[in-house]
Structure 1
């Protein structure tokens, strides 16, 4: 007997939530629809459970695309953040929609230069990512006093921690890796041509001080993006997607990312509780690359493994574990 997929409808209220009319929509993008073919049916989006989409104007020069699952009576909001090889819609696939169906309000951002977000400037630095996430969180906090949790995948995990150094009101962080690129072991493990990482970093620093800082480099040239997903066809689908793993970022951004100094020492961050959800079969960033951060933290944290999961997990066992651990973690903080 074939298992019936549960269908939960979410209202489409983009025009009510937009700071200006909706421009591009994921409903018209083929890339994520191709990617989700490699997910189990329980984790695929359809016409009934896709998120609402709207744009949020930030600092006049940026229009930030938001995937939004509204839940007016939810006990908490979860803001989902991608890394340098993914986008907001891919966060909605793996955790946004599952948590929304569990009753939480979920919002997934496309950070500047990724996904469907639009910018009038090419001068985007990692500091802008920190600032936009912090400002978006504060905007949500002004709407109501519901607690806010963050989920960050890959570079998004450390981004959440960097924002927690600025915003003590974050209730909890669910991170999928914590990669502090200031550590040689981390940039050797994440950068392409690991043996040359110190030389490459020095070269980035020099070029970032010249007009060449605006030059775009495909992320697959500078990182081990071919290890993003353990499913070969799914990984290739992401690499072909210019809004996620197929993106290119400026030398200036890459230099600012690799050398970012948080506004507070990691050991002084005391606000949120932390759950590290480490994919057990991550061929790019295993648990050892998060250890330099974990060893510095004074806040409460726990580590769980996602069975069979790759760096961007599409495996049903890993996604089921991610959902269940996340739900228990959130409930424990409320």
Structure 2
């Protein structure tokens, strides 16, 4: 069973982060395994029984749980929170069982089930964080589960909107032809056919440092991942349990990198402007790219999420 202690890719990627965000061996999270259906899901954990809040971290389609631990899990743990970064099926070190191809719906269900597992241990408030596609996943999970106290997204992208598809897909051909083709293929025995996520999306805009991008693309458990037609189709067409006009579960924070060349602010605003029943706050991260490697954006992100979590904990008490 492979672990991040044995993997070099994430260490090469973290080498592009500021020194204070680079984990030394004694600072690495505890690695846990969670049996979920036919899968063995990998969790990066900073457990802290006295923490007032638990934060569950979701990666996107170009990252994995360890990359969430470096930029946020460890920094929040140092500030006294408990953090859990999950590798969703097909990504990171999660072991995928045999059977039907993994769908985006599985990601949402896994996130919801993990919340239930953690709430069964104690009743501390849970906040969700998601980067890139993980941002919208926080919303989808919260809408399904309805038990979290806050969600933080690095973009909220409703892929059902043609504008969002057009601006986040690799090109217009992939958006206008590739996505419908994936939907058709997903209904056939070829649903398990794979393609590089980098051919479907603007993975070239994951980070703004070209040398760092090469390191990210070399990681076959994150940016270099090949995904199935079934996953792509379900991701593009997923319908939330609650539409934004009716969402009343918890407050929302968008931490938007100011130099995001993949998912700029206006794409998230298309979705967030439809939220009417809960507070929505936007914090801009200066100088930061989509997966943020840069200061002061990284520090601004950690501070904004820390303050947001404290607010939710105080609201509970």
TM-score range, shorter chain: over 0.9
Matches of 1:164 and 1:252, distance apart in 2: 23
Partner of 1:4: none
The question of whether the paired residues in 1 share the 8 Å contact of 2:59 and 2:130 is answered with yes
Q: What SS does the aligned partner of 1:120 have? A: coil
TM-score by length of 1: 0.91
Matches of 1:202 and 1:323, distance apart in 2: 38
Matches of 2:209 and 2:20, distance apart in 1: 18
Is the counterpart of residue 108 in structure 1 residue 85 in structure 2?
yes
What whole-Å deviation, never above 9, does each CA across 1:133-175 have from its counterpart, x for those lacking one? 0000110011000000000000001001001111221001111
Partner of 1:16: none
1:269 shift after superposition: 1.5
Partner of 2:312: 333
Give the alignment partner of residue 132 of structure 2, picking from 130, 154, 160: 154
Q: What SS does the aligned partner of 1:165 have? A: helix
TM-score by length of 2: 0.96
1:205 shift after superposition: 1.6
Q: What SS does the aligned partner of 2:296 have? A: helix
Partner of 1:35: 13
Matches of 1:225 and 1:27, distance apart in 2: 26
Partner of 2:102: 124
The question of whether the paired residues in 1 share the 8 Å contact of 2:179 and 2:232 is answered with no
The question of whether the paired residues in 2 share the 8 Å contact of 1:173 and 1:272 is answered with yes
1:195 shift after superposition: 5.0
Q: Which moved more, 1:155-164 or 1:324-333?
A: 324-333
The question of whether the paired residues in 2 share the 8 Å contact of 1:164 and 1:269 is answered with no
Runs of at least 5 residues in structure 2 that lack an aligned partner in the other structure: none
Q: Give matches, 1:26-175, under 5 Å.
A: 26-59=4-37, 61-121=38-98, 123-175=101-153
1:201 shift after superposition: 2.0
Q: What SS does the aligned partner of 1:149 have? A: strand
Matches of 1:29 and 1:152, distance apart in 2: 23
Runs of at least 5 residues in structure 1 that lack an aligned partner in the other structure: 1-22
1:302 shift after superposition: 0.3
Q: Give matches, 1:1-16, under 5 Å.
A: none
Matches of 2:254 and 2:284, distance apart in 1: 8
1:32 shift after superposition: 0.4
Matches of 1:119 and 1:207, distance apart in 2: 21
When residues 327 and 251 of structure 1 are mapped into structure 2, their CA distance, relative to the original with a 3 A threshold, is: same
Aligned residues: 311
The question of whether the paired residues in 1 share the 8 Å contact of 2:174 and 2:200 is answered with no
Give the alignment partner of residue 264 of structure 2, picking from 279, 282, 286: 286
Partner of 2:187: 209
Matches of 2:180 and 2:52, distance apart in 1: 47
Partner of 1:261: 239
The question of whether the paired residues in 2 share the 8 Å contact of 1:130 and 1:162 is answered with yes
The question of whether the paired residues in 1 share the 8 Å contact of 2:185 and 2:191 is answered with yes
The question of whether the paired residues in 1 share the 8 Å contact of 2:286 and 2:295 is answered with no
1:213 shift after superposition: 1.1
Q: What SS does the aligned partner of 2:158 have? A: coil
Matches of 2:146 and 2:153, distance apart in 1: 17
The question of whether the paired residues in 2 share the 8 Å contact of 1:205 and 1:255 is answered with yes
